[in-house]
Chain A
């Protein structure tokens, strides 16, 4: 029932693109960079060298043999320098000593500035890791695939429908070119989630009729503005708090749980109604994002999934998922209750999904059967954006209309300089159609 709706996509032009790309995927791949020989080293470049980017370097290098880190790029020289210091520290740790010969980073292959991504991609790299704030993902992904690079990209992969359209097109192009694309929705590579999903898709809880997904927690880090920072620099350094940079926390963080819902249901939502607001984190230091959302997502089979996310200090935390089927319930990762009960062995060996996602990516490149999660993560990203827009606008958001909408939040040519902060979204008056020009 859910399977046939798996590709409920959009408008005519997208159906056409999809059809062409699907045809291309099914053709045997006889050329291109997917044919990296088993013996050949995979050379990795990383764009976005913050804590997650540096963590991804560790995970990628740890995951596989014959992988080398050969290029780094970051907007900010201080962040890149800090990353290099951290890499030096990393290899002094006993558990990471084997990584030392894999790190071939020097002054010549480290790049900063808004065009650093182009220089990393132009380096002799096979695989590019995209770990900047989400605003830049669609552009970087397009450039990497155009240059024939395999890609690992952090979630979310866009902040607006315009970015999602770009990522969908690039994902299809990557498929045509035989390039691997893996996304940082690491639950898809977690043995617990995979085991539960296999059972759910096998019918162990029956047809899914509803569910709940949550990411409720306290606030996150914030860097108080320094006098020497321009508007743009201040916003990018505090990217969590600006919708054009992060997508807001429902997109940046809660996307993980929405992705699990899409995975369980084998579809993306078709409709969303939601509420949300900015009740606690009201200081201008926190930009204009909301601090809580609650969204009702409707899926093609009629199932409703409640999504709830919050970033407010001193409140109850909860991160997780739950699915209700006609024969039972599941948390999607460790337990099924009902007609076909199951519990994952708590003593089962631990696999680090953040490493596994890189292992799966690199193994797929070497096997000549490149994984391509681009479309999947783009659809999950738009699902989360749908929730955001339902709350921001107060309107019923329909998938096809949102995907086709003219919402473009990221200025095309960024430079350090003035940039006003867009107003906090107001349900009833904020519309889906918005651009950076109106900020």
Chain B
């Protein structure tokens, strides 16, 4: 199916040598941590919008094979790339998260688990940091790109049967009330894991939100099965950060959204 999709979308690699539009592995310099990126061919997607269905075209891009894991996120969030024990707390304070008061992984698991509970701002800032580290322009997916990745990897909505859902996605009916290691479920046709379910994923410019604010896509381990799917889209509510006891509330951490994560994309040069 993967080959079929590539063949069906020759325009996807316009301006890009097809030979170079391949999966690749990148690493965070100075660490042993790496991550994989999967090419998504361009195409058109039809989105639900408040004004009705809208068809848009999207160019090719790479998307993270998995949701960003704690292994990656920790290096930035907990300054593991900075000099060890010297008090550096005020240095770089603008672009690094505040120290979380508690266990950010909620005890679900850490190594190999998706990073959770970050604000949209934090996810964006991570991407900016990763870009500076690697020299590549990583960013969050747009709402449209994310939809395209699902369409390319999973096919039309009509193919999203309960059987496929249970096989491919963690939802409230099979997740045991917590997130799971990334890629514990099989990949889709592109080789991407957990686009639907496990953690809902931050995307920019939510086409489906009335004001174009960021949304999370795909549903999560906390959502009932029927709310995990290609069309699942949710905007942040006050309940996501109800119990942050400080004011102002953290701009980095969401105290009550352990179901939110993200994945990264990269455009061809």
Contacts and interface: CB of A to CB of B under 8 A. Distances in A.
Contacts of A354: 243, 245
Dominant SS among interface residues on chain B: loop
Given A217-B102, A219-B99, A318-B107, A286 B87 contact: yes
Contacts of B99: 218-221
Interface in B80-123: 80, 85-87, 89-90, 98-105, 107, 110
Interface string B239-269: 1001111111100000010000000000000
A280 interface: yes
A126 B161 CA distance: 60
A224 B87 contact: yes
Interface in A302-360: 313-314, 316-320, 346, 350, 352-354
Contacts of B74: 314
A86 interface: yes
A215 B107 CA distance: 11
A90 B177 contact: no
A427 interface: no
A282 B87 CA distance: 10
A216 interface: yes
Nearest to A225: B87
Interface string A169-209: 00000000000000000100000000000000000000000
Contacts of A55: 244-247, 249
B79 interface: yes
A277 B84 CA distance: 18
Given A350-B239, A353-B243, A223 B85 contact: no
Interface residues of A, number: 42
B135 interface: no
Interface string A148-186: 000000000000000000000000000000000000001
A317 B103 contact: yes
Contacts of A23: none
Nearest to B105: A317
Contacts of A316: 110
B52 interface: no
A219 B242 CA distance: 23
A223 B98 CA distance: 12
B247 A313 contact: no
A350 B257 CA distance: 12
Contact of A283 (B87, B172, B245): B87
A95 B110 contact: no
21 contacts: A54-B246, A55-B245, A57-B247, A86-B247, A90-B248, A217-B102, A218-B100, A219-B99, A220-B101, A222-B87, A224-B89, A281-B85, A285-B87, A313-B79, A314-B78, A317-B103, A318-B103, A320-B107, A346-B172, A350-B239, A350-B256
Interface of A: 51-52, 54-59, 86, 89-90, 95, 186, 215-224, 253, 280-283, 285-286, 313-314, 316-320, 346, 350, 352-354
